Structure 1
Amino acid sequence: MIDQEQHLTEHLAELRKRILVILGTFLVALCGALVYVESMYDLLTRGVPGKLQVLGPTDVIWVYLMIAGVFAIAVTIPVAGYQLWRFVVPGLSQIERRASLAYIPALAVLFLIGLAFGYFIIYPMVLSFLDSLSDNFVTAYTAEKYFRFMIHMTVPFGILFEMPVVIMFLTSLGILNPHRLSKMRKVAYLLLTIVAVSITPPDIVSDILVVVPLLLLYEISVGLSRIVYRKRAIRLETAVE
């Protein structure tokens, strides 16, 4: 009993250390981004006619923190993936360690691809649709609402685009397998469709433009899971022999 408590205490201490490293990375990246946040702001608002409004002196701070925060998240994701890998690595075989470590760089790449998909495709499409509804109104964007809207249209896609790496990682650990993912296909399709419809304008074209890439992403994830599953099975058979 005492040994189990000591083992649990060691695991909690290790987890605490990993979390502190992740938080420290995020704070350092946030501070670094704040140094260049005005340039980022100018880049992200270059298509906006005139200047965005603020309704209070603290709005500027919140806007800059939101912009810098997204940058900090992008920097922190691969570090968080590595820290998670370091936490679970004692329970992995040598082959599983090397295989799972290879997924970490892909976390940052897919997050950036998801952000680009949201920023260059979804965000302008939704913004254009909403602008078309405001012909009878005087439109005046505040900086806080403008960037909050932009983040809501981009960051979720950065997270959703991590799906293939997460599924491959869990498959390499034996937690998921392609057979289970195939059985979950209907539920996954339903959930992804709900997500797509909830963040796009209420028209069929916008829904299709978002739903189709997400469903393709799931199918790609299932296909990659099959490859990882077969390789894992071969490794296990070789190890037994």
Structure 2
Amino acid sequence: MSEQEEGMTLVNHLGELRRRLVAVLVVLLLGLIGGLFISDPIYQYLITYGPLPGIELHALTLWDGLGMYMKIALIFSLVITLPFTAYQIWKFVSPGLTPSEQKATVRYIPFVLLLFLLGIAFSYKILLPMATSFTSSINQNLGLVETYGMAQYFTFMFNLILPVSLLFELPVVVMFLTKLRILNPLRLRKMRRISYFILVFIAVFVTPPDFISDILVTIPLILLYEFSVFLSSVVYRKQLEETEEYESRYVKIDAGEKV
């Protein structure tokens, strides 16, 4: 391939990538607009059934109410956009995959949404109550009057929910990269110490500063990583079987031609 043809190919790939990024941004914007219409019922649910039911929030600036609506709409938009983004990534890399790999990887897309929702449920039902209970107990021990600003409360909530929810995408990402032969279980096992350190750091960063909270969040993250290694080994084993089958078939054909 000449340098001119390589340059044209690169330009075509960049143009394709730009079109898919624009499509993702359009869906994100539409989801954000749609999220604004359902922000109020979601807000009422979070206040009524949240970790601090009946909490009284205060607007400390004129923009707090609007900021709260935008945060909720952004979460809603991410939920809508994630599977579409995964589909656009698949469409971008699919021309370089075999037909069997295309069929196998497209099945991962629904799990992107499922795992993200599981991450939201875990962080909202388990992590957030644990964090608010700990911080509230500290305030009460100090004899402080708890007065919560709306912006601070929802910032605290979403700063816990979003990172953990995104980490729940790890199994799908690992399986996808394994299918593309970028990752494999051997490499993941070699990276286990570094990965554990990163997961522990994330757990310590997003949880209250006490040992029990760190452990309760670290254990699910480590189990999630090990589950990802297991899924990677399943995909990798199938790849080896397909390679062996192809090679054995090629040897038989080659031997028949020689005869």
Matched, 1:117 2:119: no
TM-score (norm 2): 0.90
Q: For residue 76 of structure 1, what is the aligned residue in structure 2?
A: 81
2:109 & 2:244 partners in 1: Cα distance? 26
SS in 2 for 1:79: helix
Whole-Å separation in 1 of the counterparts to 2:77 and 2:66: 16
- Paired position in structure 2 for 1:168: 175
Structure 2 counterpart of 1:2, one-letter code: Q
Decide whether the 8 Å contact of 2:24 with 2:84 is kept in 1: yes
What amino acid is aligned across from residue 110 of structure 2 in structure 1?
Answer: P
Question: Considering only aligned residues, what root-mean-square deviation do their CA atoms show, in Å?
Answer: 1.1
The answer on 1:67 being equivalent to 2:72 is yes
Change over 3 Å in CA distance of 1:131–1:10 after alignment to 2 = same
**How far apart, CA to CA, are the structure 2 residues paired with 1:126 and 1:150?**
9
Shift of 1:50: 5.0
1:217 aligns with 2:224: yes
What is the CA deviation profile of residues 124-156 of structure 1, one whole-angstrom value per residue up to 9, with x for unaligned ones?
A: 101110001112111111111111100011111
Map of 1:238 onto structure 2: 245
2:62 alignment partner in structure 1: 57
The 10-residue stretch of structure 1 (49-58 or 80-89) with the greater mean CA deviation from structure 2: 49-58
The answer to whether structure 1 residue 197 and structure 2 residue 204 are counterparts is: yes
CA positional deviation for 1:197: 1.2
Residue 10 of structure 1 aligns with which residue? 12
Contact 2:47/2:55 (CA < 8 Å) preserved in 1?
Answer: no
Distance, in Å, in 2 between the alignment partners of 1:160 and 1:69 is 18
**C-alpha displacement of 1:30:** 1.1
Q: Report 1:170-185 matches (<5 A).
A: 170-185=177-192
CA deviation digits over 1:15-41, x for unaligned, max 9?
011001111111111111111111111
- Unpaired runs of 5+ residues, structure 1, are none
Q: Deviations over 1:213-234 (max 9, x none)?
A: 0111111010110000011122
Could you report, residue by residue, the CA deviation over 1:162-200 in whole angstroms, capped at 9, with x for unpaired residues? 111100000011000000111111111111011111111
The worse-fitting range, judged by mean Cα deviation, of 231-240 and 199-208 is 231-240
Q: Is the contact between residue 196 and residue 222 of structure 2 (CA under 8 Å) also seen in structure 1?
A: yes
By how many angstroms is 1:52 displaced?
1.2
**TM-score normalised to structure 1 length:** 0.97
Deviations 1:106-130 (A, max 9, x none): 0110011011110000001011100
Report deviation, 1:49.
2.8
1-side partners of 2:148 and 2:210: how far apart?
24
Please report how far the alpha carbon of residue 204 of structure 1 lies from its aligned counterpart in structure 2 after TM superposition. 1.9
Partner residue, 2:105:
100
The Cα shift of 1:236 comes to 2.7
Residue identity in the other structure for 1:169: F
Q: Aligned partner of 1:74: which letter?
A: V
The residue type paired with residue 89 of structure 1 is: S
Distance apart, 1:99 and its partner CA? 0.7
Amino acid at match of 1:211: T
Q: Is 2:34 aligned against 1:32?
A: yes
Q: Does structure 1 conserve the Cα–Cα contact (< 8 Å) formed by 2:90 and 2:105?
A: yes
Gaps spanning 5+ residues in structure 2: where?
A: 250-259
Residue of 122, 130, 149 corresponding to 1:142:
149
The structure with more radius of gyration = 2
